[in-house]
Amino acid sequence: MNSISLGSYDSGAMPADKAQFLALYHASLSDQLKKKLQFRDEGNGVWRDFRESPGSTIRELQQFLKDAGFMPKANVDGVFGYATQAAVRLFQEYLRTVEGDASIGAPDGIVGPNTLKKMEEWKQRKAANGDFVSEWGRSGAQNPSPEFGRWLGMLARAKEFYTGNPNPILAHIEQFKQPTDTRKVGAWDTSPDTIHLIGIRANETNSDEKRRNDDLFVLLIRGMVFKFWGSTDPNPDLAERADIPFLVESQHHYQFGWHKVGDETTVYRALRPASSGVLVFRDKNRDRKLTEEDVVKGLDPSPNSTINIHWSGIGSYNFSAGCQVIAGKSYINHQGKLIDCTPHAATSYKELGGSKGRGAYNVFADLVLTYAPPGVHTIAYMLGRDETLARFDPESQDFVANTVSRMQGGRMA
């Protein structure tokens, strides 16, 4: 068979209205890019047309992904869209990392002869064993891992503590009157059914010329825990203003969207503030860090709608002017195993395309897209500090530094 990929569709499955079909995913793109009526692919500058593929291969692919637990909520509609691409990449990543099958190659979201062969082998082997569903597919909020329960418990304890003991940062949030995607403590979501991302700032009181990728991100999804690394701080070299913005430490409401929404060449999937924007403090004294002096001077008067959660290359450079950024080099999976993505992770935009993608960041984005509950397009993002984590888990004093250092090493364990 010829390879099928993003934009392919079965005979007779062409959407009657392309704009409507793409609207859910393209809502945050610029008006000009929405008019393209194409799918935005991984490669730098690559957009994919709707392309007919004879027969019903894509429906069969989608049914396999659904049955195997990689695409639980998506429709079996015969159109190879973003959710199908994400599910294919997750299947490829699962084979590579959980089952240890390196022959699958790079998780590129393309179904060629090798991936199709692996799917057939999966069906035969799993059917013979009476177990067709992946570990990721079997997991859920109703049967969470112990680690998932510990992190969720920390969120609940933090909410209980800060409800009666607001710190100066949370006091500013409580007094803020405009609509915002930054939540007051009483509205913090601690539900196991919600997708939670926890960002933990390390070395916040230290000034750094580049603001290194030394922070930890913990994804709680479908009863599982995945860990990523990057930065929650702005790189002063990329900021348009000297008083660089720092996202406030609280919980924020984010939704599926895009980064660089008006740039045809570099736009890619990211998470964006859900509606009104999030709250930030500015570095008023220009010392390149968030200090008590900055907090005393108060929040920026208007919510900021440009603080996204996006890719930070392979991790060697902080691609952030204030956003929350995730490195592509490596991550720790649901089993606590270090996963090296270096062979197929682009260092920057220039390397994107072919076998080079966004590595660990794609795993993060694909998990969020594919395993969100039906009809849910948002996550709860809690940002805190390493010393705050230690307050609710005293044994985690060096947890952030040790975990990030392990991932920066980038070797499978």
Q: What single string gives the DSSP state of each residue in 342-366? A: GGGB-SSGGG-BTTBBBTHHHHHHH
Q: Within a domain: residue 199?
A: yes
Query: Is the pLDDT higher at 6 or at 317?
Result: 6
- Provide mean pLDDT across the span 339-361: 94
CA dist., res. 173 & res. 248, Å (int): 9
In DSSP notation, 34-60 reads HTT-SEE-SSTT-EE--EEESTTHHHH
Q: What pLDDT shows up at residue 268?
A: 95
Same domain for 151 and 132, yes or no, is no
Structural domain tally of the chain?
A: 2
160 and 76 in a single domain? The answer is no
Q: Indicate whether 405 belongs to any domain.
A: yes
Rounded Cα gap, residues 394 and 355, in angstroms:
43
Same domain, 36 and 106: yes
In a domain, 45, yes or no: yes
- Whether residue 244 is found in the same domain as residue 349: yes
Same domain, 363 and 275: yes
Last residue of a domain, one of 85, 105, 138: 138
**360 near 345, Cβ under 8 Å?**
yes
Q: Are 238 and 320 in contact (CB under 8 A)?
A: yes
Asked if residue 373 lies in contact with residue 221, where contact means CB atoms within 8 angstroms, the answer is no
On whether both 120 and 161 belong to a single domain, the answer is: no
Whether 234 and 281 share a structural domain: yes
In the predicted structure, residue 207 carries a pLDDT above the cut 60: no
Q: Residue 204's pLDDT is what?
A: 63
Residues 6+ apart with CB under 8 A from 398: none
Q: Judge whether residue 392 has pLDDT over 90.
A: no
Per mean pLDDT, which range of 13-17, 220-224, 306-310, 393-397 is the poorest?
393-397
Across 265-323, the runs of DSSP E, i.e. the strands, are: 268-273, 280-282, 309-311
Give CA–CA dist 323/233, Å, rounded: 7
CB count within 10 Å of CB 405 equals 12
Catalogue the E-assigned strands of 172-321.
Answer: 182-183, 196-201, 215-221, 224-231, 245-247, 251-259, 268-273, 280-282, 309-311
Question: Of the residues 114, 138, 162, which one is the last residue of a structural domain?
Answer: 138
Predicted pLDDT at 209? 59
Q: Using CA atoms, how far apart are residues 286 and 57, in angstroms rounded to an integer?
A: 58
- Whether 227 and 291 share a structural domain: yes
In a domain, 2, yes or no: no
**Nearest residue to 363 (alpha-carbon basis) of 35, 97, 61:** 97
* % of the chain with per-residue pLDDT over 70: 97
Predicted local distance difference test score (pLDDT) of residue 412: 43
Neighbour tally for 28: CB within 10 Å:
18
User: Do residue 339 and residue 255 come from a single domain?
Assistant: yes
pLDDT at residue 396 greater than cutoff 80: no
Is pLDDT of 88 > 70? yes
Per-residue model confidence as pLDDT tens digits over 142-170: 889 999 999 999 999 999 999 999 899 99
Cα gap 324→366, rounded to integer Å: 17
Q: How many residues does the chain have?
A: 413
Residues 46, 369, 265: CA angle, nearest 5 degrees: 20
pLDDT, tens digit, 9 for 90 and up, residues 118-130: 999 998 887 788 7
| Confidence (pLDDT) at 372 | 92
Residue 23 banded pLDDT, cuts 50, 70, 90: very high
Pair (107, 161) in one structural domain: no
Distance, CA of 307 to CA of 284 (rounded, Å) = 18
Domain assignment present for 3: no
Contacts of 82 (CB under 8 A, 6+ apart): 6, 25, 39, 269, 369
Give the orientation angle of helix 57-67 with respect to helix 113-129, to 10 degrees.
40
- The answer to whether residues 99 and 171 belong to one domain is no
Identify whether 237 is part of a domain: yes
| Same domain flag for 272 and 398 | yes
Q: What pTM was computed for the model?
A: 0.96
Q: What is the Cα–Cα distance from 247 to 317, expressed in whole angstroms? A: 19
Percent of the chain with pLDDT over 90: 77
| Host domain of residue 50 | 8-138
- What pLDDT score does 210 carry? 63
Say how far apart CA 335 and CA 333 lie, in whole Å. 5
Has residue 1 been placed in a domain?
no
Query: Which of 44 and 89 is assigned the larger pLDDT?
Result: 89
Among 108, 138, 168, the domain boundary falls at 138
